[in-house]
Amino acid sequence: MQFPAIQEGDSQYLIHSYARFPAALVKGKNATAWDADGKRYIDFTAGIGVNSLGYSDPQWVQAVSGQAAQIQHLSNLYYSPVTIRAAELLCHAAGMECVFFGNSGAEANECAIKVARKYGTDKYGDQHCQIVTLNNSFHGRTVTTLAATGQPGFHQHFLPFTGGFVYADANMKSVGKTVTENTCAVLVELVQGEGGVVPLDKDFVQQLAQFCEKKDILLMVDEVQTGIGRTGSFFCYQQYGIHPDVVSAAKGLGGGLPVGACLVDRRCADVLGPGDHGSTFGGNPVVCAGVAAVVSRVEKQPFLLEVQKKGAYLRSRLQKMDNIQSVRGLGMMLGAKPVKGQPGAIAAACVQAGLLVLTAKDVLRFLPPLTITKEELDEGLAILEKVLQQQ
């Protein structure tokens, strides 16, 4: 099919909720993709941090297709060994007690919110249901996770929202003023991804952890974007020196399959009982075969060391570019502020020139597959440099 016909079909049959770049990707290998016309692209996006092992990694393909041929779905009424294996690998890598599987980041956060409210209200009564999130955060697109998202731009339509969310700035003074006797949890991203790749200050995060511990407030970390090796440790909290009570993960977890996970530590392991939560597709065997393939590779120290090295290389190359003003982020989750030009227009020019990049607020955002090669990085950086010079 030719591109104009593809574009027409998209416009006719899909709800117009997305603005897309003019490329129809049909094939990929690691961090290289091809469109319907055979044009080649270097991929610095990994499908928004999803394809941890790149496009169609052979081991991952084998695990997923093998499971599809064996048994694809059985509902949560029966035991699923492959789901248990994925859960065990994930809990070990995270140092957490147990996990609930859903299908997306927003759902993982919905589960975290339910855990927090049940924990708080079981222990301290019905009023104890308030959750503090941070300004400039992003937690998802469901009505409740939009309410959790601390950005007025996301609070425009779809009212009324779920109540009980209050927003603080990323410092202890503001958190201290926002917490009340009815606060059951604080939910934070350690690097605010959609907010512009903004890492939280380490001292603040450690003080927040102590504060929460003292007040019996759950510390919940949204690792939907930062998790699964993205920042150079398996979870980002592992390099912040804290141990949260609840962690959500999603994007990079299934290597390209839809999955969300809400991990809980001992304190919350028994908060949800039979009937309190559920998901028809949650823990699906095909998806969990993908999760196991990803986690068993990414949790290994040599793999994470490679991510750190490639992240440091990407950062230093970006910092050296004349047309980049500053670089922020951790590991292979980086944001670069251009000297000239709007990120959106630069990203469009990059696509035209054969490089896929993301944007977030005032930065170009880079979330390449964790398996990207040095050659692919160099090729993409050369395209970027040329595009930036033309701004």
Ligand X SMILES: *Cc1c(COP(=O)(O)O)cnc(C)c1O
Q: Which chain residues interact with ligand X by CB under 6 A?
A: 104-106, 109, 138-141, 189, 193-194, 222, 224-225, 250-251
Q: What is the largest CA-CA distance in the chain?
A: 61
Q: Is 20 annotated as a binding residue?
A: no
In terms of CB distance, is 49 or 54 closer to ligand X? 49
Q: Is 87 annotated as a binding residue?
A: no
Structure tokens at 136: 């400039």
To ligand X, the closest distance from the beta carbon of 205 in angstroms equals 15
Instruction: Judge whether 291 and 93 are in contact, CB under 8 Å.
Output: no
For residue 222, give every residue at least 6 positions away whose Cβ sits within 8 Å of its Cβ, in sequence order, or none. Answer: 105, 109, 112, 137, 139, 187, 188, 189, 248
- In this structure, what is the dihedral angle of CA atoms 59, 62, 63, 65, given to the nearest 10 degrees? 150
Q: Is 99 annotated as a binding residue?
A: no
Chain centre to alpha carbon of residue 339 = 27
Which of 249-275 are b and which e, b meaning 16 or more Cβ less than 10 Å from the residue's Cβ?
A: bbbbbbbbbbbbbbbbbeebeebbeee
Phi, psi of 55 (to 5 degrees): -75, 130
Which residue has the CB atom at the shortest distance from ligand X? 105
To ligand X, the closest distance from the beta carbon of 96 in angstroms equals 18
DSSP annotation of 357 reads -
In terms of CB distance, is 29 or 141 closer to ligand X? 141
Which of 9-47 are b and which e, b meaning 16 or more Cβ less than 10 Å from the residue's Cβ?
A: eeeeeeeeeeeeeebbbeebebbbbbbeeeeebbbbbbb
Q: Is 56 annotated as a binding residue?
A: no
To ligand X, the closest distance from the beta carbon of 78 in angstroms equals 26
In terms of CB distance, is 250 or 388 closer to ligand X? 250
CA nearest to 249, candidates 317, 286, 298: 298
In terms of CB distance, is 349 or 357 closer to ligand X? 357
Structure tokens at 109: 């956060």
To ligand X, the closest distance from the beta carbon of 189 in angstroms equals 5
Whether residue 160 is preceded by a cis peptide bond, meaning omega within 30 degrees of 0, is yes
In terms of CB distance, is 53 or 250 closer to ligand X? 250
In terms of CB distance, is 358 or 383 closer to ligand X? 358
Q: Is 43 annotated as a binding residue?
A: no
To ligand X, the closest distance from the beta carbon of 103 in angstroms equals 8
Q: Is 279 annotated as a binding residue?
A: yes
In terms of CB distance, is 228 or 349 closer to ligand X? 228
Q: Is 106 annotated as a binding residue?
A: yes
To ligand X, the closest distance from the beta carbon of 120 in angstroms equals 21
Q: Is 75 annotated as a binding residue?
A: no
Phi, psi of 4 (to 5 degrees): -60, -35
For residue 125, give every residue at least 6 positions away whose Cβ sits within 8 Å of its Cβ, in sequence order, or none. Answer: none
To ligand X, the closest distance from the beta carbon of 141 in angstroms equals 6
Binding residues for pyridoxal 5'-phosphate: 105-106, 138, 222-225, 280
Binding residues: 105-106, 138, 141, 222-225, 279-280
User: What residues are designated binding site for N(2)-acetyl-L-ornithine?
Assistant: 141, 279
